[in-house]
Structure 1
């Protein structure tokens, strides 16, 4: 919030922000008609006050409609931290020594669902459209913010194939750096085991070239697939023959140290 002094329009009060538990200040509210000169005066005064109070960092959440203010902040030492949709976040370290501010997210999370029909020994696979190689793979896509990986797998499988499923376990995690599809960042690719609730295929023709229930034995030996899909097909065959408890990383929801929050823990089940 700003409060402009009526007698001296060029003289503004200081920025009002929310102090976090680390001693930083976050500012989210800016008058839509403030000029760059007025903002420069306000920001300088605010920084002086926050330094006197011992604050160690400042975060400015600037809407895209006021992007001109970012240039003003840059002259006072602010740098871009990240941007999301209609907002850019700038930061300034004011503590001692080098900045200890955390970086923004360095990974994207992709999730695929291996839908296994235990009665037939078949698994649901797709071939992506517009790929250089039409390889069989498990349907999947990127996890959305705040979405559990099991929910991502179920959602993506339904969107791509029309088959409804139920989450069973986590099977594998692949980490890859400098991923071309992640703007040069790192990529985490997780494959979940799902059970089918429906079986009729109605695949998305915009994303998929083909979609089939394929024998796991065929998927494990065919050359028309990716290395990770082939490896997971062998793993699923082992689970089908000897029990999925040998390969599953089951999910358990536990309370977090932050009051009212929970997290999901994936691990092999302990013996009874």
Structure 2
């Protein structure tokens, strides 16, 4: 413990103001050392074998970067900006020695002073969530090769087609200046599959329960005012109704009806994309939905072992078995 105290004491001295140093001298060094030793015991520290460096612990990813979350429960909430800056300096020196190419630093809002300290070492903001900011620093050779944060939002709509009568479920938004017929939908939640989003949004807006059948189309639009100036992906899915009674949300919708696809395809009281999809659905209804559907299949990811969803035209069974 005495050896650890001698190593960590300079960190305290560097972070203290002149006034604090005077108080430290008058109250006795041992009391200050004991107080810091208690705080330091709660730090995410590790002593590298054969070195004197005390560094932050982190998780190393398969790309050679290290992620450090200082919001973990054992990190001292009262750490000063100066102490953290010195600790980060020693950590960066160790990570460079280890050949790490990048550092991802997760800083909770309650420790935002640590973000200021990190900026002095070259860290910049990468993105932020509700209660924390993620900073990044490239340590590799040349220009940074770190990926940018997500720049798109995903909107999903559900075209619920009743094959028995050729009708489709449509709504008119209450908050739009032009009350055009459109398919019910909304933004996909993080971690939510687009088919699940379509089914959820249709039920929330219309009260109709449905099941996912296929993906029909994708619209890409950039500099979207409704996406904070970022890009927007709008995906329309084909759904099959499980119920037919309408109980639409009056806060979001002005009207909700089952309309003939033929009427929706030719009316001017709709949007261009809805009109085009109505014609596509009519083609599928008449010629078979296999002519327009992008079916979904779950496949295992090579690196993570998790499953992902792949959307494509259905393969003939003989080719599917070979694949």
Check whether TM > 0.5: yes
C-alpha separation between the residues in 2 aligned to 1:39 and 1:127?
55
d(CA) in 1 for partners of 2:168, 2:137: 51
Q: In the TM superposition, what are the counterparts of 1:1-272 in structure 2 within 5 Å?
A: 6=5, 8=9, 10=12, 13-29=54-70, 30-272=75-317
- What is the CA deviation profile of residues 197-233 of structure 1, one whole-angstrom value per residue up to 9, with x for unaligned ones? 0011111111111111111111111111111000000
Q: TM-score, normalised by structure 1?
A: 0.95
Return the alpha-carbon distance in structure 1 between the equivalents of residues 113 and 275 of structure 2: 51
SS at match of 1:82: strand
CA distance in 1, matches of 2:295, 2:223: 30
Q: Considering fraction of residues, name the structure with more helix.
A: 2
Task: Return the structure number with greater strand share.
Answer: 1
Gaps of 5+ in 1: none
Give CA-to-partner distance per residue, 1:60-83, whole Å, 9 cap, x none.
Answer: 001111112111111111000011
Indicate the larger mover: 193-202 or 248-257.
248-257
Give the Å deviation of 1:102: 0.7
* 3-state SS in 1 of match to 2:55: coil
In structure 2, what is the Cα distance between the partners aligned to 1:208 and 1:68? 45
Q: How far apart are the structure 1 equivalents of 2:112 and 2:304?
A: 36
Could you say which structure has the larger radius of gyration? 2
What is the CA deviation profile of residues 221-269 of structure 1, one whole-angstrom value per residue up to 9, with x for unaligned ones?
1111111000000000111111111111111111211353111111111
Output the CA distance in 2 between the equivalents of 1:66 and 1:206.
39
Distance 1:175 1:51 in 2: 41
TM-score by length of 2: 0.80
